[in-house]
């Protein structure tokens, strides 16, 4: 990979951390992208904050990766959970797989398990950092490195890896021997909740395995909608 990608990303991260720490945090699902960000950010500021949302339906392999990251960096991960009452009400009233019935039903589930917890995670922050890339599907093709998050009160949203390719991520991961979710090697380039994620076939879009029963322009959970 080109050194300039790393240096440009470090510049964005450094300026973000200097401007906002400790009121800034990395949102992590422990994807290869997020693990690269954690490695870079902690190299710049060992006190960098990382939060993660436990939806209650994550893959075991995701928990394994989170634990590997926690141990490697002695990191205090700020876990956030959905409202137990809201999850209970959804499952009692609509069952365990209502999210497959329609896009609206899926957004309802994501809203309870992801979006509402994210709002709580961002309380008190001036900015947050994501591992999103332009190459992760049509919904992210025009992604900017720095955005204003109008959904969450106008705080700043940094996407330092916006122009990185999958190969850039792979190269950095291998050079620095970062933990990788075992599902990635089994054909899962994008990993969310277990019932909503499958392996993809050769030639498919990188996010084809997310909510595969929906059209490509709906491949977001609500965390990053504008």
Domains of the chain listed by start with CATH number: 3-181 (3.40.50.620)
Given a contact cutoff of 8 angstroms between Cβ atoms, the answer to whether 34 and 137 are in contact is: no
Residue 180's pLDDT band (cuts 50, 70, 90): very high
| pLDDT at position 142 | 78
User: Is 60 exceeded by the pLDDT of residue 190?
Assistant: yes
Residue with tokens 């890896």: 161
Mean pLDDT of the chain: 92
User: Is 60 exceeded by the pLDDT of residue 107?
Assistant: yes
Given a contact cutoff of 8 angstroms between Cβ atoms, the answer to whether 196 and 219 are in contact is: no
- Distance of CA 7 to CAs 13, 19, 42, Å? 10, 18, 15
Helix, strand, or coil (residue 140):
helix
- Cross-strand pairs, 155: 149
- Please tell me the pTM assigned to this model: 0.90
> Residue 112: which of 84, 93, 137 has the closest Cα?
84
User: Is 70 exceeded by the pLDDT of residue 3?
Assistant: yes
| pLDDT at position 205 | 82
Residues tagged active-site = 221
Given a contact cutoff of 8 angstroms between Cβ atoms, the answer to whether 130 and 157 are in contact is: yes
Which residues, including other chains, have CB under 8 Å from residue 101's CB and lie 6 or more apart? none
pLDDT in tens, 110-133: 999 999 999 999 999 999 999 999
Averaged over 195-202, what is the pLDDT?
A: 92
């Amino acid at each position: 990979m080109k050194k300039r990608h790393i240096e440009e990303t470090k510049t964005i991260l450094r300026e973000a951390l200097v401007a906002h720490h400790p009121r800034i945090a990395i949102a992590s699902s422990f994807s290869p992208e997020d693990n690269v960000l954690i490695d870079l950010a902690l190299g710049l500021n060992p006190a960098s904050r990382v939060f993660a949302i436990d939806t209650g339906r994550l893959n075991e392999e995701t928990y394994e990766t989170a634990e590997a990251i926690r141990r490697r960096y002695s990191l205090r991960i700020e876990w956030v959970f959905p409202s137990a009452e809201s999850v209970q009400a959804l499952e009692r009233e609509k069952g365990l797989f209502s999210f497959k019935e329609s896009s609206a039903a899926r957004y309802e589930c994501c809203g309870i398990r992801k979006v509402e917890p994210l709002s709580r995670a961002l309380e008190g922050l001036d900015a947050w950092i994501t591992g999103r890339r332009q190459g992760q599907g049509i919904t992210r093709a025009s992604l900017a490195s720095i955005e204003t998050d109008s959904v969450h009160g106008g705080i700043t949203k940094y996407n330092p890896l916006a122009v990185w390719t999958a190969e850039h991520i792979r190269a950095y991961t291998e050079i620095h021997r970062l933990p990788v979710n075992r599902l990635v090697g089994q054909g899962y380039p994008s990993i969310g909740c277990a019932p909503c994620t499958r392996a993809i076939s050769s030639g498919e879009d990188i996010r084809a395995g997310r909510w595969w029963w929906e059209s490509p322009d709906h491949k977001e959970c609500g965390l990053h909608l504008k």
